Amino acid sequence: MKRKLSMFLMVFVLFLSGCAPTPTTTPEEIIRQEGEYAIVDGFASTANRVYHGTYLPVHQALEVGTRLVDLSKQHFSVNEFYMQEGQIITLSRLGALVRRESGTNPIGLNPPSGSLFPSGSGVDIPDAVVVSDVLEVNFMKRRDNEYVLEAMSIALVLNPSQSVGLGRVSITEERLYEYGSDMGRKLESYLRSLAGVGDIPIYITLYSLGSVDAILPGNMIGEGLFLSRSGQFSKRNESWILIPSSASNELDSITHNVFLQLKGELQTLLPEAIGVFAKARVINQKIDLMIIEVNTNVKTYTELQAIVQLLLNETQAFETNNMDIKIHIRNLNSTLVLIEKKANDDAFTIIYLN
């Protein structure tokens, strides 16, 4: 009898354990990278990803997204919000937004067909297409086991380079900012009319594209935080420069000269020439990020180590500039080493990829 009772209890316990719900990841268990937003569990890509990938080169798309999220941190805490890919602006809505304004498409953000667009430099551009894309990021909070939209950020992507006849005309940054601000307010008003948006905070940035074949990406030229249907745009002072160049020498002669010394040391290290250049993001007339590209043809591991050591020694002189530094060492088409140092870090992080 005791044996039968014991077997019954064992079966009953196993039955209960089998019926127990499978543990799921809660927001508290999601690992947050320091200084970054946690992505919602159950992440869903936006339906607009193909459009973004078609009309934005990847280096431009990543720069837009990076700056949009970084600037959003000033308004939406990384410790309070979860981030999701844009879900409010559907593919059909995006298609309507980037088309021309007309009687049948009142939400269009581009000038009407047949219109002349003042470039700001005395040239009127016929049928200009100024707004190239609209990128959206959602910021969520957990409410009763559900994610609820609490804020959103938008990047209005503007194209300053326009075709006119057989040539191209550039829209001045002042004129681009003026038009972008007008279209940003129009976009904010439209978003308020959509279900789920209502009066949540909406942060809108204005991004000026670089040339498709340019080495340098574009830059943010404006921003506005809209709370309870009120807000204003203001200008942002951002740009990218090449190093070495006349622009880098004029902006920061110390960094310019240190880089020239680094370049000279590298180019004489190996029998074959080593290609070296850098690009820097400038915010409010100060470099906040430098990306150094080293293209070489190493034959041995020791040669690679010699390059890494030289770079680490020479880049110590950049530390006084309080900027992030990233270094990519490539051998023909393969990336061999990634080196990174944040402005507030004490040492470089080195990753060998071979």
Q: How many CB atoms lie within 10 A of CB 243?
A: 25
pLDDT digits (tens, 9 = 90+) for 207-229: 999 765 567 889 999 999 999 77
Q: What local confidence, expressed as pLDDT, does residue 231 receive?
A: 85
Indicate if the pLDDT at residue 7 is higher than 50: no
Percent of the chain with pLDDT over 90: 65
Q: What local confidence, expressed as pLDDT, does residue 213 receive?
A: 57
Q: What local confidence, expressed as pLDDT, does residue 206 receive?
A: 98
Per-domain residue ranges of the chain:
27-236, 241-352
Q: Averaged over 308-314, what is the pLDDT?
A: 92
Q: Averaged over 256-273, what is the pLDDT?
A: 91
Indicate if the pLDDT at residue 6 is higher than 60: no
Which of 282-296, 307-321, 329-343 holds the top average pLDDT?
A: 282-296
Q: What local confidence, expressed as pLDDT, does residue 55 receive?
A: 75
Q: What local confidence, expressed as pLDDT, does residue 271 receive?
A: 84
pLDDT digits (tens, 9 = 90+) for 93-149: 999 999 999 999 999 999 999 999 999 999 999 999 999 999 999 999 988 888 999
Indicate if the pLDDT at residue 25 is higher than 80: no
User: What's the topology of domain 27-236?
Assistant: sex pheromone staph- cam373 precursor fold (3.10.570)
Distances (CA, A) of 119 to 109, 156, 169, 178, 240: 17, 18, 8, 11, 22
Q: What local confidence, expressed as pLDDT, does residue 65 receive?
A: 93
How many angstroms separate the CA atoms of 124 and 169, rounded? 9
Indicate if the pLDDT at residue 88 is higher than 60: yes
Burial (0-12, 13-18, 19+ Cβ within 10 Å), 348: middle
Alpha helices in 20-57 (DSSP H): 49-55
Confidence of residue 29 (pLDDT cuts 50, 70, 90): low
Q: How many CB atoms lie within 10 A of CB 122?
A: 8
Average pLDDT of the chain is: 87
C-alpha closest to that of 169 among 113, 110, 129, 216: 129
Residue 323 sits at the vertex; the CA angle it makes with 338 and 174, to the nearest 5 degrees, is: 110
Q: What local confidence, expressed as pLDDT, does residue 145 receive?
A: 80
Indicate if the pLDDT at residue 11 is higher than 80: no
How many angstroms separate the CA atoms of 139 and 147, rounded? 9
Lowest mean per-residue pLDDT among 44-58, 231-245, 261-275: 44-58
Q: What local confidence, expressed as pLDDT, does residue 53 receive?
A: 82
241-352 belongs to CATH 3.30.300.190: yes
Q: What local confidence, expressed as pLDDT, does residue 2 receive?
A: 43
How many angstroms separate the CA atoms of 202 and 224, rounded? 8
Q: Averaged over 191-216, what is the pLDDT?
A: 88
Indicate if the pLDDT at residue 299 is higher than 60: yes
Q: What local confidence, expressed as pLDDT, does residue 46 receive?
A: 85
Confidence of residue 261 (pLDDT cuts 50, 70, 90): very high
Q: What local confidence, expressed as pLDDT, does residue 5 receive?
A: 41
Q: What local confidence, expressed as pLDDT, does residue 320 receive?
A: 61
Q: Averaged over 27-43, what is the pLDDT?
A: 77
Indicate if the pLDDT at residue 27 is higher than 60: no
Indicate if the pLDDT at residue 4 is higher than 50: no
